[in-house]
Amino acid sequence: MPLKESEAIVLRSFPLGEGDRLVSFLDRQFGKLRGVARGARMPKSRFGSTLELLSYIRIWYFEREGRELVRINQCELIESFLDLQNDYQAGIYLALLSEITEGVLGEREVADPQFRLLLLAARAIRTNGPSPAILAYFALWTVRLGGWLGSLERCAQCGKPFEQGFAYVSPGSSELFCEKCREPESRSSFGSGRRLEQISQVALSIGRTALSGTLERSLKNNPSLSGSDEISSYALNILEQHMERKLTVRQMLEASKSGESNLKN
């Protein structure tokens, strides 16, 4: 039973038994794993606050042959995001990053790019606050890393560049269509079960910037909130389609937004 040492990000943890924790984490080398931290809920636990949401840690664990769960032996905190939980909205953002990562990755699927993306997004939330542009960047890159991204440049049918008007997409699909090529049956609001979503030029441009440059550059342009939301929504729909379920935290985020706009009105 060899002891492994690695870097990891804590995705989630749940109480288990009397004083233990069941921890889902993204190991930088070996992908998404789940393990048991014995006594982690006891007073003076040696795990301290290392097992909090998105904690970036050094971890030592034992893999047990034929067992899905590893036994977590020791953790050291490299970077904590616990302080961000003081801001409700930032806390929701972190939970969404975690839920997406956990949902799209298979067990033990090597995922170093997703590891770096997750850390980058969490740090950006610390620096910039919970900005919709960060979520847009994270969601689009997760879709791209999964290999599910469509073109934000040109129509999937006729190949014409999106230069004016809207692009159209059936929620959950990655293919964007121009005004002309969007499915005829969807033009009428009756009779067709499929609702097409419109994506504005502003949103497409935010998406292209995110995919062609750094997150820093994406944020520097001070991108529009509604444009960021539109392109996030496109990417999150694709992720939900692949996960075959709705993201729970996304619903919380949307509820908190509509709560805010009700207050303003």
- Counting residues that bind Zn ion (by CB under 5 A) gives 5
Binding track over 98-137 against Zn ion, x by CB under 5 A: ----------------------------------------
Q: How far is the CB of 219 from Zn ion (least distance, A)?
A: 32
Task: State which of residues 122, 176, 178, 253 lies at the interface with Zn ion (CB under 5 A).
Answer: 178
Nearer to Zn ion, 71 or 154 (CB): 154
Angle 12-17-21 (CA atoms, 0-180°, nearest 5)?
25
Binding track over 135-174 against Zn ion, x by CB under 5 A: --------------------x-xx----------------
Q: How far apart are CA 15 and CA 3, in angstroms?
A: 24
Q: How far is the CB of 182 from Zn ion (least distance, A)?
A: 8
Residue 15 CB contacts under 8 Å (≥ 6 apart), including other chains: 21, 22, 41
Q: How far is the CB of 207 from Zn ion (least distance, A)?
A: 18
Interaction between residue 199 and Zn ion (CB under 5 A)? no
Task: State which of residues 120, 181, 202, 252 lies at the interface with Zn ion (CB under 5 A).
Answer: 181
Nearer to Zn ion, 164 or 261 (CB): 164
**Does residue 205 contact residue 221 with C-beta atoms inside 8 Å?**
no
Nearer to Zn ion, 158 or 255 (CB): 158
The amino acid at 241:
Q
Q: How far is the CB of 147 from Zn ion (least distance, A)?
A: 23
Closest Cα to residue 130, out of 121, 117, 139?
Answer: 121
Interaction between residue 42 and Zn ion (CB under 5 A)? no
Q: How far is the CB of 144 from Zn ion (least distance, A)?
A: 22
The amino acid at 219:
L
Nearer to Zn ion, 82 or 181 (CB): 181
User: Which range in 8-16, 33-41, 178-186, 197-205 contacts Zn ion by CB under 5 A?
Assistant: 178-186
Radius of gyration (Cα) for the chain, nearest Å?
20
What token pair was written down for 235?
């990417």
Closest Cα to residue 138, out of 119, 166, 163?
Answer: 119
What token pair was written down for 83?
């302080």
Long-range contact list for 125-128, CB < 8 A, 24+ apart?
Answer: 125/81, 125/84, 125/90, 125/93, 125/94, 126/81, 126/83, 126/84, 128/219
User: Which range in 94-102, 133-141, 177-185, 212-220 contacts Zn ion by CB under 5 A?
Assistant: 177-185
Binding-site ranges for Zn ion (CB under 5 A): 155, 157-158, 178, 181
